[in-house]
Amino acid sequence: MNKNFVEELKWRGMLSQIMPGTEELLQKEMVTAYLGTDPTADSLHIGHLCGIMMLSHLQRCGHKPLALVGGATGMIGDPSGKSAERNLLDEETLRHNQECIKKQLAKFLDFESDAPNKAELVNNYDWMKGMTFLDFARNIGKHITVNYMMAKESVQQRLNGEARDGLSFTEFTYQLLQGYDFLHLYQTKGCKLQMGGNDQWGNMTTGTELIRRTLGIETEAYALTCPLITKADGKKFGKTESGNIWLDPKRTTPYKFYQFWLNVSDDDAERYIKIFTDLDKETIDTLVEEHKQDPGRRVLQKRLAQEVTVMVHSEEDYNTAVEASNILFGKGTKETLQKFDEDTLLSIFEGVPHFDINKDALGQPAVDIFTQSAPVFASKGEMRKLVQGGGVSLNKEKLQAFDTVITAEDLIDGKYLLVQKGKKNYYLLTVK
């Protein structure tokens, strides 16, 4: 017997709004459901993760997920939850983004098996590109009144002064286009359920309304949403000062990704481990209890960071991220340092002082390089004293003599020197 999907979402804190009759339908048959993402970049970010996990739980509960990439709607932009119009993308960019997104989704969903509920990726550009404006106006537009569309909260917010320029006709049509997606998938794939974030509720109910007005009042079409994930302080989840946390390792290194989850607050960790992992209720309850006994050990954060990093990247990336995290706490060796690629190395030492030195400096004693080429030490005397007391390391190895000659052999990744003064003061030197 498959798990009850709605119950699964409820205890995980992933259910916000649901249409009457949805749960009964899910208990009665294998349901095909879709969730849409606009391919505005060639990678998803953690703001998309709640939706992806909904699709993953849906498949695990025996239902069939459709991941919709909004190639057509991505060309327009959705007014929901935004105060400005989105940049429009060309087809080539959209197709590239679609392929990249599918690769990322394949880590969460089964696209390849012969199971009746295997996942599918669909792109609304495929059924919209051949439709003329006249077709759309005649076949779709006639079913929904402007009054109905105007009443939506997302439209009202934009019209009542949040955006200086109001709402373009292009964006106004977005809910009809999204509504048509649902109608099309209902007719071609037997899709009866649409899922999404809370800000999509207006667009989703337009979809169910369009299906009923087109195909008859008895037609089974439903919608459910997950809450918009926020941090305990009420701020938007997934954004950092440096921008989005991406799933693509080239945009956000696995180390940085791991660090994001490791550093969430206790309250957030308790919520997020339910939403962003597939751990069962019993395991999570045990972890929460263990965490409460000794919050200082950060049991929840560590397990959350492990689960999500392994799921999005790999076990190997997770192990590397842990090793990288240990570096700053005095653990790790030269061999460990040499394992990291350049992006990871720069991520680890993002906040430490950086100096550029000329490669002509190689072949000189350490004391000259670290006082003149790069002012790690205020004077040669200071450095001499610290080296004698065993307080200076180069690339995680104690510097035995202050006048040790530094050569190209010492470079990490062929261009970096990591100097440590005392226990906690790091300096990264780049040889150019």
Instruction: For 193-211, give one letter per residue: b (16+ CB within 10 A) or e.
Output: bbbbbebbbbbbbbbbbbb
Give per-residue pLDDT as tens, 62-119: 999 999 998 887 766 555 555 444 556 777 888 899 899 999 999 999 999 999 999 9
Domain co-membership, 193 together with 49: yes
Same domain flag for 287 and 425: no
Known catalytic residue: 175? no
**How far apart (Å, rounded) are the C-alpha atoms in residues 393 and 271?**
41
Q: What is the pLDDT of residue 194?
A: 98
Active site residue 432: no
Count CB atoms within 10 A of the CB of residue 389.
9
Task: Tell me, yes or no, whether 290 and 420 share the same domain.
Answer: no
Which among 287-296, 357-366, 371-380 has the top mean pLDDT?
A: 287-296
Residue 239 bears catalytic tag: yes
Q: Would you say residue 233 lies in a domain? A: no
Q: How confident is the model at residue 175 (pLDDT cuts 50, 70, 90)?
A: confident
Rg (CA), the chain: 27
173, 178, 225, 320: which is the annotated catalytic residue? 178
Does residue 189 sit within a domain? Answer: yes
> Is 240 a known active-site residue?
yes
Q: Which residue is catalytic, options 17, 60, 82, 302?
A: 82
The verdict on whether 302 is a catalytic residue reads no
* Active-site annotation holds for 236: yes
Task: Give the residue-averaged pLDDT of 396-410.
Answer: 92
Give yes or no: residues 333 and 360 share one domain: no
Which residue, 174, 192, 226, sits at the end of a domain?
226
The answer to whether residue 406 sits within a structural domain is yes
Mean pLDDT highest for which of 135-139, 143-147, 220-224, 407-411?
220-224
Half-sphere CA count of 90, side-chain side, radius 13 A: 1
In a domain? residue 347: no
Asked if 48 is an active-site residue, the reply is yes
Mean pLDDT of 271-275: 97
Q: From the candidates 12, 22, 37, 48, which is the catalytic residue?
A: 48
* pLDDT of 362 above 60: yes
Q: In this structure, are 76 and 210 located in the same domain?
A: yes
- Number of domains present in the structure of the chain: 3
Q: Quick one: 365 and 325 in the same domain?
A: no
pLDDT above 70 as % of the chain: 94
* Set 199, 278, 343, 403: catalytic member: 199
Q: Residue with structure tokens 């239902």?
A: 63
Q: Using pLDDT thresholds of 50, 70 and 90, give the confidence band for residue 121.
A: very high
Domain harbouring 44, CATH code = 3.40.50.620
pTM metric for this prediction: 0.85
Structural domain ending residue among the three candidates 307, 339, 371: 339
Average pLDDT over residues 168-174: 81
- Are 268 and 139 members of one domain? no
Q: Are residues 67 and 114 in the same domain?
A: yes
Tell me the CA distances in angstroms from 290 to 124, 296, 298, one per residue in order: 46, 11, 9
Domain holding 309, by residue range, is 239-339
Give the contacts of 65 (CB within 8 A, at least 6 positions apart).
Answer: 32, 33, 34, 35, 55, 56, 58, 59, 109, 117, 119, 120
* Residue 177 and residue 222 share a domain: yes
More confident residue, 163 or 122: 122
Position 345 in a domain: no
Least confident piece of the model among 68-77, 181-190, 194-203, 250-259 = 68-77
Report residue 411's pLDDT band, with 50, 70 and 90 as the boundaries: very high
The pLDDT of residue 8 = 97
Q: What is the pLDDT of residues 27-42, one digit of tens each?
A: 999 999 999 988 888 9
Active site residue 194: no
Q: Is 202 helix (H, G, I), strand (E, B) or coil?
A: helix
Whichever domain contains 309, its CATH number is 1.10.240.10
Mean pLDDT of the chain: 90
Indicate the residue among 276, 311, 339 that finishes a domain: 339
Residue 231 lies in a domain: no
* pLDDT value at residue 83: 44
Residue 299 forms part of a structural domain: yes
Task: Reply yes or no on whether 40 is catalytic.
Answer: yes
What's 363's domain CATH number?
A: 3.10.290.10
At residue 26 the predicted structure's pLDDT band, cuts being 50, 70 and 90, is very high
Using CA atoms, how far residue 160 sits from 92, 166, 168, 198, in Å, is 36, 8, 14, 20
* Most confident range, picked from 80-89, 327-336, 395-404: 395-404
Same domain? 166 vs 90: yes
Q: How far apart are CA 260 and CA 149, in angstroms?
A: 39
Instruction: Considering the candidates 45, 143, 231, 251, report the single residue annotated as catalytic.
Output: 45
Tell me if residue 158 is catalytic.
Answer: no
Is 386 in the same domain as 415?
Answer: yes
Shared domain check, 332 and 372: no
Q: Which residue has the tokens 């926020």?
A: 230
Residue with tokens 């989703």: 204
pLDDT of residue 80: 54
From 40, 104, 157, 430, the catalytic residue: 40
Q: Which of 95, 239, 339, 380 is catalytic?
A: 239
Residue 234 resides in a domain: no
